[in-house]
Amino acid sequence: MAGAFGTAFTPFMAVSHSDTNGVFEPVSIEPFGPISLSPAAHVLHYGSECFEGLKAHRGKDDGIVRIYRLDAHIDRLVTTAKIMHLPCPSAEVIRQAIYDTVQANLDAIPAQPDSAYIRPMLFGTEANVGAAGHPSLSACFMVIISPVGEYFTSDTTLRIVVETNMLRTTPLFGRAKAGANYALALPPTMAAIEQYRADQVLFAPGGDIQETGASNFMVFHDNTLITPPLSDAFLHGVTRDSIITLARDKGLAIEERHLRVDELVAMAPHCEAALTGTAAIMAPVGTLIVHGEETQVGNGQPGEITMALRTQLRSIQQGLAPDTYNWLTPVTA
């Protein structure tokens, strides 16, 4: 059994440093452990860090380890690196590095319901505290893996504060999976936890719903999935995309459109709401807190459609349902 999410690691990691021309050395698979970094490294001063989060699952019946939506996550890392002006290995190199890291750790990938959370990361290593106004000329790419348990306890729903003034991040960084965005979302999130015992903050600047600090938001209402349309303002979640695909298949109507806070509060008694992300897949929302006022979503319990879609995605990941969309990459010894 895995410990608290993200605190245990498998024996091997991947590492590749670039030179100051952004040319990366061949990826090496090494024992998991501390790395050496100049105290002047760009990332330690100017926040040049980004990452990905994806999972590998061991088949429930066949024991085969499969990486979930590898290419979608690689594309997003490459996009993020571009936004951050960080040197980045090619998509092919990243793909092979992730595959090889999972393969090296194959014996340590846990059985269901646990899984392996794969964390690729990229950060600026140029030793130059004078580079405040410049991108790092060099970078380090790594992949580490954490065995994780099921994130989810089926009878709990989340309490969500809807924040209509503050932004989660700047518009330019909305699509970047950057560590800095998490630092920016922390103060409003801590305030919501202290003031309302909330679990998360849903950012809705000017009343237009975007996402939480680490997950996308969707509503099921009247046999329709409603979720904000892709824009530069928020992270394009792979889980969001997966659930939209499965919901469409199930015959639900899909509305990718702007959703106002007032409209959400009005439909709350008759709808389901959920957060989507790799860690939890779908986490049902039971309570919305808007300007200090609480509104129950549905009957406050996990919604039926939410749970059905979550189960369906889980069965694809576990190799129990057909991989209709080619979402899985099997890793063999």
Ligand X SMILES: *Cc1c(COP(=O)(O)O)cnc(C)c1O
Interaction site with ligand X (CB under 6 A): 53, 177, 211, 214-216, 235, 237-240, 276-278
Phi and psi angles of residue 12, each rounded to the nearest 5 degrees, phi first: -125, 150
Q: Would you say 245 or 301 has its CB closer to ligand X? A: 245
Can you read off the two tokens belonging to residue 8? 């245990």
C-alpha–C-alpha distance, residues 97 and 99, integer Å: 5
C-alpha–C-alpha distance, residues 172 and 193, integer Å: 27
User: Contact, 149 vs 184, CB < 8 A?
Assistant: no
DSSP 8-class letter at 299? T
Beta bridge partners of 219: 226, 273
* CB 201, min distance to ligand X, A: 11
Q: Would you say 128 or 312 has its CB closer to ligand X? A: 312
* CB 30, min distance to ligand X, A: 26
Q: Would you say 146 or 216 has its CB closer to ligand X? A: 216
DSSP 145-201: EEEE-----TT--EEEEEESSS-SS-GGGTT--BHHHHHHHHHHHHHHHHHH--SEE
* CB 148, min distance to ligand X, A: 13
* CB 269, min distance to ligand X, A: 27
Q: Would you say 88 or 238 has its CB closer to ligand X? A: 238
Q: Would you say 30 or 256 has its CB closer to ligand X? A: 256
* CB 71, min distance to ligand X, A: 12
Burial class (CB in 10 A: 0-12, 13-18, 19+), 258: middle
Q: Would you say 106 or 180 has its CB closer to ligand X? A: 180
* CB 203, min distance to ligand X, A: 9
Closest of 284, 263, 259, 257 to residue 272, by C-alpha: 284
